[in-house]
Structure 1
């Protein structure tokens, strides 16, 4: 499989190594100042860039009939536009706030726990996410996905980084050097606390999941998620 890497920072380099180990070929390594030369030679593109570049990267792929996997976060105000473009072009597109296989299992566990806690009003939910200091967006896309999983299954209606109202989930977003990504969900009452937590040990889990998603999307048309890739 021929892969275009849109974004060639730390994540892009880890994706490159894992893709090569799995027998794939890299036909484009696009930095922020580079063009798209080589994109048309690709079977699929993987975008791990920055929020300001994500929409142009995804659009370029969809307009040229290149399936695209995007793990860039912080641009979701334009997500529906990319979904519409994918449908218009009969393209192939996966966005994931986190491509780690473990995190996607964690998403399902989070939603299941939220359903169990829905009617237990003595418990107040909150979250914490910790990432490296180079991460540009806060809270993380993963934290937003976790919050959304709670909102869809409880009476909560929104999340906040400030002092929460009764219907808001407080997210404590921390930036600490050399932390790949840690996410915790807490349910606190006067008598106890329930906590679920995912800790990434390196970027490799994110990179491997994105390559697996790229392998999966070949030959498929539509807008998908990692739930489709993993069959969960």
Structure 2
């Protein structure tokens, strides 16, 4: 699997480090400093997939060009939700296969399934107040995170209409922690997903890249994982 990286920050570099674990090889890197010659070289590299861990702004500005680099894309940038309808249209126009996700860790989707199952019970317990807190490193721009919004959306879809207090922390080097809880008069229950190593996101993105080969259309990590 021949890979072009779009963005070469911490996550892009980690994808490169772990590519071989998934029978992958990085054949090109595009960053904000790339020249027209770099783009041309990437277009001629025979890539199977573009893996994006740049920024939402960079993705919006360059998605059309990225579709010219490979038949499939894995989009890991966040903060571009309003652009999604256009992104889907661009991908469809080019006949590309896309996996887009705000979080590529398997555990995040197991947690989503858990809180979705809990939502009806939380709805019925008036004296237990629900909350959602997430924490990430200080350089993460969007708050609350895309994963936090995804968890909240899953609970809403499962029937939770009550107010959920949502909060976020941006500090230090925290890879990522998400907690959904309910606090009652004499007890509390929490469900937490804790990332101990950012490599989990790289492995998830590479898993998605392998899965989307030969496919067209727009997919999520739930499609990749079959949950």
TM over 0.5: yes
Q: Which runs of 5+ in 2 are unaligned?
A: none
Deviations 1:5-28 (A, max 9, x none): 001001111100110333321111
Structure 1 alignment gaps of length 5 or more: 157-166
Deviations 1:139-178 (A, max 9, x none): 111111111111212343xxxxxxxxxx442221101211
Determine the C-alpha separation between the residues in 2 that align with 1:62 and 1:93: 10
Asked if 1:8 corresponds to 2:29, the answer is no
Deviation at 1:209, TM superposition (A): 0.3
What TM-score do the two structures reach when normalised by structure 2? 0.91
**Contact 1:186 / 1:195 at 8 angstroms: preserved in 2?**
yes
Report what 1:140 is aligned to: 145
What SS does the corresponding residue of 1:32 show, helix, strand or coil? coil
Task: Provide the rounded CA distance (Å) in 2 between the counterparts of 1:230 and 1:53.
Answer: 27
Give the SS at the match of 1:212.
helix
Displacement of 1:58 after TM fit?
3.0
- How far residue 64 of structure 1 moved from its aligned partner, in angstroms, is 5.4
3-state SS of 2:67 partner: helix
Aligned to 2:214: 219
Tell me how far 1:63 sits from its aligned partner. 5.0
What does residue range 1-232 of structure 1 map to in structure 2 within 5 Å?
A: 1-35=1-35, 36-37=39-40, 38-40=42-44, 41-62=46-67, 66-156=71-161, 167-232=162-227
DSSP 3-state at the match of 2:77: coil
Shift of 1:2: 0.5
SS in 1 for 2:164: strand
- CA–CA distance in structure 1, aligned partners of residues 64 and 182 of structure 2: 40
Using the alignment, how far apart are the partners of 1:203 and 1:64 within structure 2?
26
**Does structure 2 conserve the Cα–Cα contact (< 8 Å) formed by 1:97 and 1:142?**
yes
So what's the TM-score if we normalise by structure 1? 0.89
Q: Does the 8 Å contact 1:43/1:66 carry over to 2?
A: yes
Q: CA 1:107/1:59 → structure 2, altered by over 3 Å: closer, same or farther?
A: farther
Q: Secondary structure at the match of 1:94?
A: strand
Q: How many residue pairs were aligned?
A: 222
Partner of residue 164, structure 1 = none
> Which has the larger displacement, 200-209 or 52-61?
52-61
Could you report, residue by residue, the CA deviation over 1:11-62 in whole angstroms, capped at 9, with x for unpaired residues? 1111001103333211111222214331452110100011211223433233
